[in-house]
Structure 1
Amino acid sequence: MAHQRETEALAQIAGRLGWDQETMMPPGSATQRGEEMAAIEGVLHARRTDPRVGEWLETAEAPDEMGQAALRLIRHSYERTTKLPARLAAELARVTSLSQGTWAKARAANDVAAFLPTFRNVVALKREQAAALADGGDLYDALLDDYEPGTTGRDLADMFGALRPRLVALRDRVLGASHQPITLAGDFNEAGQLKISDALAHAFGYDFNRGRIDKAVHPFSSGSGSDVRITTRTSPTDPFNCFYSTIHEVGHAAYEQGIDQAYLLTPLGQGVSMGVHESQSRIYENQLGRSAPFTGYLFDLMKDTFGDFGVADAAAFHGAVNRVTPGFIRTEADEVQYNLHVLLRFDLERQLIAGTLSPDDLEEAWNTRFAADFGVAVDCPANGILQDVHWPVGLFGYFPTYTLGNVYAGCLNQAMRAAVPDLDDHLAQGKTAQATAWLRENLQTHGGLRTPRDTIKHACGFDPHEGPLLDYLETKFTALYRL
């Protein structure tokens, strides 16, 4: 455990380098940063594959549930990491760090061709990594295990297959409804947006003594324990992008800040999986932050900050917050269509890793699938295959955890509201403490103590499934659109 504690600390340092790269790093530092990331990854890989760890695992005994869980996670990490050559681990760290900068320039220039040579290299390295980890098994499952241990691509395909018909049917009913909520219009200065962003972070319990908010192109949360940082972004015509990016990332950060301090710098001291992590960000953002009671509170904040901004009342504002609108960008998508964006990426990345889709053919495959799923043609690569940073930095297997997180959030919301029947009365006053306390007690504090599915089952009292999410969406949007 002493060895593991130092490894965890070094991993936090690597994470801080990544945070700096996204927020503060000078643009001319990318090449050196790539070397730095490769160097620290080499050190981490050496520690994680140290033969002594294998020897210790053979004889280690756990005195309690915490120790048993720690050994389970260390063993899982050791078995995976020892399958990966140190050369490959360092090369992945170097190439994906450089790829991030190349992608950002290509995205700004809408130039897919400029990114393709780098992307081919990333995909080839990830396929090599998957082959090393899979031991003859499914390549995609080997990568998915990094983000959602115990889940397979087939499990997700079955769940997503059950989601798609009801999501598509609901979207079609909503977009064809005679009643359509208003669209927010106007200019909203950055200072006002960041002021409200700060108030929202406080309202949802973000601990600024152990965190900070900065700006980034793609909002994210970084770190765990006593140093958990988040980012947001602003748009003069779309303040909701700022507000709900902040609430979303606070959900991630609250999970990390809420983990039992006894687990700090141990394998249990961070979120158990990306799907469970996403359940926290999505329930904060959607079931709580986009609820009618809480948007009424946000409406008052908007009036206090921006004066009369063209929305008559809280009901109209709630409709504007939740308006369903066709669009290209996943992170800006409404609750009804968001998962359809994820399902597209899930199917394409499985094909990339399986080798049935070439990186050179990805743009055409994306555009064809997007037109079929959303009924509009992609207008530029920045709104298509270049919009997300995940593939450029090698995060294959990450995308499906967004929808899995929504499914988990639906289950948690059902259980939470049964336990806290007067929750809406508190949300109407901007008070989220009842909800966040329930989530902290039943899920967040336990960190990596249980497997992902068992973490959700422990909190909810039932096995996770897609039903509660679909029921929540249909109830909410049937009322909003007067269907």
Structure 2
Amino acid sequence: MSAMNDLLAFQRQTEALSSIAERLGWDQETVMPRGAAEQRAEEMGAIESVLHERRTDPRIGEWLEAATPRTEAESRAIELIARDFNRANRVPARLATELARLTSLSQGIWAEARANEDAEEFLPTLDQVLMLKREEAAALAEGGDLYDALLDDYEPGMTGAEIASLFDAMRPRLVTLREDILGAGVQPQELTGHFPQETQLRLARTCATAFGYDWSRGRMDVAVHPFSSGRWQDSRITTRVVEPDPFNCLYSTIHEVGHSSYELGIDPDYAFTPLGRGVSMGVHESQSRIYENQMARGRAFTGWLFNRMSDAFDGLNITDADAFYATVNRVTPGFIRTEADEVQYNLHIMMRFDLERDLIAGRLDTRDLVEAWNSRFQKDFGVAVDRPANGVLQDVHWAIGLFGYFPTYALGNVYAGCLNAAMREDTPDLDDTLAQGDAAPGVEWLRENIHRHGGLLPPRQLVEEATEDDISPEPLLDYLEDKFSTIYKL
């Protein structure tokens, strides 16, 4: 058993160092002084160099060959360690270090360019990131598809061709539903008023508590692009505040609580092992989306939220809970993915998926990216992009090298559709408690069927065992058509 014990002990330290690196990323996005960007880039490069050296340590190969697992969890840990070991050994240490350094630096350059509404300020750096990601993809793919090699980091076992086929199946029903909604005679009222930042943040904390966020193991901060960070005993969330639009803050918060609750709900025995994190970004996104949409944007919870907001903001221009529910779920043409309604959100992802596949394949040059983005957005959404912050600069993902990440957002919606159907069948009282501002039955169902398993099961198996059915986009599309047909009286 010595080899197994030595392997797990070594992995424990690697996981701890990886967690430290993640904490540095959280700090950079929240409280780090703006002038520290170059120093942080060097720090991130240094720790990635150490991590890469550990992940490629020859002893791992020896331990893997000699280790004898005693449990299902140890067998799965060996599988995941071997996968990471093989992938890490394909990427030169120089490349791993430079990617960490450049993407840390690029993040600040993107933020400045976004604030200045100047895409040209950012594109040269993006081009450098893209060149390194292509090099990494070539090393990982070993002659295979470059994009698939990057996608596998976020959704193991999934391919670009499978994603494309899924999107092709979803697009017609989504486009038809959107056109029916935008042409409907009934259109919900827009929320207007003055919504001070501190009041929004107080209410956001109340919403996070309603969804079971463990404040003893978390905290909430403000960031340009909302995210969650951390695992085990420390998983933090961020949100953003747009004073004219409190829904941005409240639903970003609930979304990130979904991510964080997944990490905090994993079996504590898996801490500091490869099982002690969400199994894929698609599964991760399914948790944030089911919290935000199927639970928090439903009629039951919005009824509770209507009363809280009416009290917090000294009255609203929306006068009853039914109208408020419709307002929360308004479908309108808009530029920003994170603010998109449920009907159009996946269309944003489909556009980014096509663009980034072309970037990685070399079919699209960064010099032509702004024009390609704006042209595709006009075609897909019927609206001309008015400024870079509403266009190619709105997302941080490419700046920090997350090519292959975007499609997992839509895949997460598909998983959420499947999980929601099963969860509703098993928890018939869920809407009763949501109407009281308590999401506990849904949270507990997800913790039992998804969260606690961490990385124990592969993504597809995890969702299919939870739902006792095959993964399909049909539950999501049926849910959307039913919900929005009712709201818009189609």
Query: Does residue 1:218 correspond to 2:222, yes or no?
Result: no
Counterpart Cα distance in 2 of 1:364 and 1:306: 41
Aligned to 1:76: 83
Q: Which residue of 2 aligns with 1:174?
A: 181
| Pair 1:97-2:99 in alignment | no
| DSSP-derived class of the 1:82 partner | helix
Structure 1, unmatched stretches of 5+, are none
Match of 2:171 among 164, 170, 177: 164
Partner of residue 456, structure 2: 449
Pairing partner for 1:15 from 22, 29, 34: 22
**Alpha-carbon separation, structure 2, partners of 1:141 and 1:61:** 31
Question: Does 2:95 correspond to 1:88?
Answer: yes
- Equivalent residue, structure 1, for 2:3: none
Take 1:39 and 1:409, find their aligned partners in 2: how far apart are those partners?
A: 38
Query: TM-score, structure 2 length as denominator?
Result: 0.98
Deviations 1:52-101 (A, max 9, x none): 00111111111111001101100100000000000000000011111111
Partner of 2:37: 30
One of 236, 243, 258 as aligned partner of 1:236: 243
Report the Cα distance in structure 2 between the residues aligned to 1:420 and 1:95, rounded to whole angstroms: 47
Q: Give me the whole-angstrom Cα distance separating, in 2, the residues matched to 1:139 and 1:260.
A: 34
- Deviations along 1:403-459, one digit per CA (max 9) or x if unpaired, are 000000000000000111121111111111100000000110000001011111111
Distance 1:65 1:362 in 2: 47
The offset of 1:236, in angstroms, is: 1.2
Superposed, 1:317-332 pairs within 5 Å as: 317-332=324-339
User: Deviation at 1:235?
Assistant: 1.3
The aligned counterpart of 1:287 is: 294
Q: Which residue of 1 aligns with 2:427?
A: 420
1:480 counterpart residue number: 487
1:307 positional shift: 2.0
Normalised TM-score (structure 1): 0.99
Q: Which amino acid aligns with 2:260?
A: A
3-state SS, counterpart of residue 90 of structure 2: coil
For residues 440 and 199 of structure 1, the distance between their equivalents in structure 2, rounded to whole angstroms, comes to 21
Among candidates 114, 117, 122, match of residue 129 of structure 2 = 122
Q: In structure 2, list runs of 5 or more residues that go unmatched.
A: 1-7
Q: What is the CA–CA distance in structure 2 between the aligned matches of 1:443 and 1:329, rounded to whole Å?
A: 29
**What residue number does 2:263 align with?**
256
Using the alignment, how far apart are the partners of 1:383 and 1:191 within structure 2? 25
Deviation of the 1:143 alpha carbon: 0.3
2:413 pairs with 1:406? yes
Cα distance in 2, alignment partners of residues 396 and 213 from structure 1: 27
SS at match of 1:177: coil
Measured in 2, the distance between the counterparts of 1:92 and 1:12 equals 18
Deviation at 1:114, TM superposition (A): 1.3
**Alpha-carbon distance between aligned partners in 1 of 2:439 and 2:324, rounded to the nearest angstrom:** 20
In structure 1, what is the Cα distance between the partners aligned to 2:78 and 2:111? 39
Q: Is 1:2 paired with 2:2?
A: no
Give the Cα–Cα distance (whole angstroms) in 2 for the partners of residues 74 and 136 of structure 1.
23
Deviations 1:158-208 (CA, angstroms, capped at 9, x unpaired) = 001101000000000000000001100011111211111011111100001
Matched residue of 1:231: which SS? strand
- Please say if 1:150 is aligned against 2:149: no
Matches within 5 A, 1:273-352: 273-352=280-359
2:369 paired residue number: 362
Q: Distance in 2 between matches of 1:116 and 1:142?
A: 24
Q: Secondary structure at the match of 1:214?
A: strand
**Aligned residues with identical type, % of pairs:** 65
| SS class of match (1:395) | coil
Q: Give 1:268 shift.
A: 0.3
Give the CA RMSD over aligned residues.
0.6
- Would you say 1:136 and 2:143 are equivalent positions? yes
Q: Please give the alpha-carbon distance, in whole angstroms, between the structure 1 residues aligned to 2:277 and 2:424.
A: 26
Task: State the distance in 2 between where 1:48 and 1:155 align.
Answer: 30
> Is 2:360 aligned against 1:353?
yes
Distance (Å, rounded) in 1 between the aligned partners of 2:75 and 2:360: 34
What's the counterpart of residue 5 of structure 2? none
Measured after TM superposition, the shift of residue 218 of structure 1 is 0.5
| Structure 1 position 378 matched with structure 2 position 381 | no
Q: Which runs of 4+ in 1 moved over 4 A?
A: none
